[in-house]
């Protein structure tokens, strides 16, 4: 019943354009643990009114099956500022249609009345003890995309088998229910609640538990620039600074208001490096700011840059900021929680493709470190398990600039991470230290951890499959590579097949998944490299790290060694020319 998508399909039929129709209707979007992520447009392979209705109907039936008190507790729904003129799709419209689906079945819905950061949805699930949460966002994807992200009652993203159960329920509930299209019905319903004001008050109260240096914050001369990259973050980061008694950061004027066209950037992804930060650098130079904080459009990620003595800007990698925040949060805990919780009950987490710097800090300081599979769904669920056992989970991060600094949100949160980074920088400034200098101090104390990550773009799933098959049958059937150029392979873990050469029974400890590719190679020189496919983009990613024990300070030599390892990895394992892979371009 959407006139725009309907007209698109009718036109394709009239033109007899079978190829395009096949693209639109050939296969349904797959509902996975990350929910849905696809372009907005017509057909079952895209995000549109109909596929949102069908998805929510399936999700609603699945929740009814799992929660006898669903009609008492309800669900929360949030949305970002994405919109797609040609198909009439927008995050707000999708959120209203989803709310209408639940309300039609007598389920209370806490629908935010305005755009919010993604972390506000898991926060609301936990805070109001709801059954589930939905966030309509495509995070930092290109502007034509949208997504449907799902949280369980524990406040973490869903993990298997929920994705399979929801997927099956969607298949069984494809016919729109009566009144499914009429989202105006919700406005007069007693089951509709708006959590916006309450969450904006409670969230900022909760993150203040991570504020330890209010007096320094009030007096610091350090200036910050913030960009929300045309997304939702501006207002919320301003409020977070206020909650910590910091002067508000200078906002990049061209990027502070939500704009679904993302007009000033090629990709709205701060992970892509300096290109996204061009306007931030200019504003920082003009206003004399030393530090730039950049959120992605749904404000769950954070990139940080700092002006160096040389006048150059350094953009910290996700691993470097993870090292700094891990050090800072542990230091604050140590100085402020003596006696309230034993160090043996303190935990930090990171994903298996992230730097092992937290492991080094944990070993020396005496707390626990655990690694999980890639993605905050794993860290959020594990954190909740540990918290339920009375443990304190201080921090979790992954290299894709995602940080969980506050136990009130069991997912990455770019708002709390931004203000905690600002407090850390303000504190360090009182000691005449920059973030870069402190990072070096962390590495000096706990050992250098040099990392390098990148990706290749590949739109052909067959080529990706072949590339990984080749690695599993490198020198004959079922043999992995014994070396990569001059680098000897000393261990292999394949989380697609469940093989791990380092375990006595050769079985991997972390959960395995046949639906995604992921192989980790350990090298005799202490290097580690992981190759994996992306769940949301047509990419084959790689992550590499060299760890040195404390005291080995020849960083340039370590960097050179890692560069050579990465070059060998690309040449021998990726074979970009043979496989026609497109390199990441800055």
SS3 state of residue 79: strand
- Architecture of the domain delimited by 3-193: 3-Layer(aba) Sandwich (3.40)
Q: Given 45, 87, 90, 139, which residue is catalytic?
A: 139
549 compared with 90, residue with greater pLDDT: 90
- Give residue-wise pLDDT tens across range 152-185: 999 999 999 999 999 999 999 999 999 999 999 9
| pLDDT the model gives residue 130 | 98
* pLDDT tens-digit map of 317-373: 999 999 999 999 999 999 987 666 789 999 999 999 999 999 999 999 999 999 999
Summarised one tens digit per residue, pLDDT across range 436-492 is 999 999 999 999 999 999 999 999 999 999 999 999 999 999 999 999 999 999 999
- CATH 3.40.120.10 domain residues, the chain: 3-193, 210-311, 319-446
Q: Percentage helix, strand, coil, to 5, in the chain?
A: 40, 20, 40
d(C-alpha 143, C-alpha 268), whole Å: 8
The CATH fold assigned to 319-446 is Alpha-D-Glucose-1,6-Bisphosphate; Chain A, domain 3 (3.40.120)
Radius of gyration of the chain (CA): 24
pLDDT at 33: 83
CA–CA dist 94, 48 (Å, integer): 8
Sheet containing 402-404: order of strands = 368-372, 346-351, 392-398, 402-404
Quick check: helix, strand or coil at residue 495? coil
**pLDDT given for residue 586 in this prediction:** 45
Domain 210-311 sits in which CATH superfamily? Answer: Alpha-D-Glucose-1,6-Bisphosphate, subunit A, domain 3 (3.40.120.10)
| Whole-number pLDDT of residue 173 | 98
CA dihedral 429, 432, 436, 438 (to 10 degrees): -90
In the chain, residues under CATH classification 3.30.310.50 are: 448-583
Residue with tokens 């504190």: 427
What CATH code would you report for 448-583? 3.30.310.50
Start-to-end CA span in the chain (Å): 42
For 545-555, what is the mean pLDDT?
84
pTM, whole model, 2 decimals? Answer: 0.94
Q: Given its phi and psi angles, is residue 532 left (phi above 0), alpha (psi -120 to 50 degrees) or beta? A: beta
Question: Catalytic: 139?
Answer: yes
Which of 315, 295, 322, 135 shows the shortest CA–CA distance to 230? 295
């Amino acid at each position: 019943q959407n006139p725009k998508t309907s007209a698109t399909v009718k036109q394709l039929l009239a033109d007899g354009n079978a190829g395009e129709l096949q693209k639109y209707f050939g296969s349904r979007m797959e509902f996975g643990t990350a929910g849905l992520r696809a372009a907005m447009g017509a057909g079952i392979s895209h995000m549109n009114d109909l596929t949102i209705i069908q998805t929510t109907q399936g999700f609603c039936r699945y929740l009814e099956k799992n929660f006898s008190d669903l009609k008492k507790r309800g669900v929360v729904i949030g949305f970002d500022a994405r919109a797609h003129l040609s198909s009439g799709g927008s995050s707000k419209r999708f959120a209203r249609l989803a709310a209408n689906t639940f309300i039609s079945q007598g389920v209370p819905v806490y629908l935010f009345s305005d755009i919010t950061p993604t972390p506000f949805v898991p926060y609301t699930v936990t805070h109001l003890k709801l059954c589930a949460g939905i966030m309509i966002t495509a995070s930092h994807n290109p502007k034509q995309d949208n997504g449907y992200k799902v949280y369980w009652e524990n406040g973490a993203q869903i993990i298997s088998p929920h994705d399979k159960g929801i997927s099956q329920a969607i298949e069984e509930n494809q016919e729109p229910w009566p009144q499914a299209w009429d989202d105006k019905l919700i406005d007069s319903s007693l089951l509709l609640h708006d959590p916006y004001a309450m969450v904006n008050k409670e969230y900022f109260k909760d993150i203040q538990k991570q504020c330890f240096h209010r007096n320094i914050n009030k007096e610091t001369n350090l200036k910050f620039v913030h960009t929300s990259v045309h997304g939702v973050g501006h207002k919320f980061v301003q409020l977070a600074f206020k909650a910590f008694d910091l002067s508000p950061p200078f906002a990049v004027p061209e990027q502070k208001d939500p704009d679904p066209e993302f007009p000033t950037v090629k990709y709205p992804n701060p992970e892509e490096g300096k290109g996204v930060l061009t306007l931030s650098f200019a504003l920082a130079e003009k206003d004399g700011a030393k530090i730039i904080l950049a959120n992605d459009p749904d404000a769950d990620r954070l990139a940080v840059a700092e002006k160096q003595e040389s006048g150059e800007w350094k953009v910290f990698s996700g691993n470097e900021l993870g090292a700094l925040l891990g050090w800072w949060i542990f230091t604050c805990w140590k100085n402020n929680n003596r006696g309230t919780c034993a160090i043996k009950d303190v935990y930090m987490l990171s994903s298996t493709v992230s730097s092992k710097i937290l492991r080094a800090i944990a070993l020396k300081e005496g707390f626990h470190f655990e690694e999980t599979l890639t993605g905050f769904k794993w860290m959020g669920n594990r954190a909740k398990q540990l918290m339920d056992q009375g443990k304190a989970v201080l921090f979790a991060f992954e290299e894709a600039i995602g940080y969980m600094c506050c136990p009130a949100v069991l997912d990455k949160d770019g708002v709390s991470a931004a203000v905690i980074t600002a407090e850390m920088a303000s504190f360090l400034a009182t000691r005449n230290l920059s973030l870069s200098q402190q990072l070096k101090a962390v590495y000096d104390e706990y050992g250098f951890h040099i990392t390098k990550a990148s990706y290749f773009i590949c739109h052909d799933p067959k080529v990706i499959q072949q590339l990984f098959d080749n690695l599993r049958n490198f020198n004959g059937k079922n043999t992995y590579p014994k070396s990569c150029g001059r680098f000897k392979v000393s261990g292999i873990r394949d989380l697609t097949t469940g093989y791990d050469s380092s375990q006595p029974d050769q079985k991997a400890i972390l959960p395995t998944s046949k639906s995604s590719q992921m192989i980790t190679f350990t090298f005799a020189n202490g290097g580690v490299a992981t190759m994996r496919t992306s769940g949301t983009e047509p990419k084959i990613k790689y992550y590499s790290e060299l760890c040195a024990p404390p005291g080995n300070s020849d960083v340039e030599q370590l960097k050179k060694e890692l560069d050579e390892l990465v070059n060998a990895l690309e040449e021998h394992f990726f074979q970009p020319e043979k496989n026609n892979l497109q390199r990441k371009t800055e």
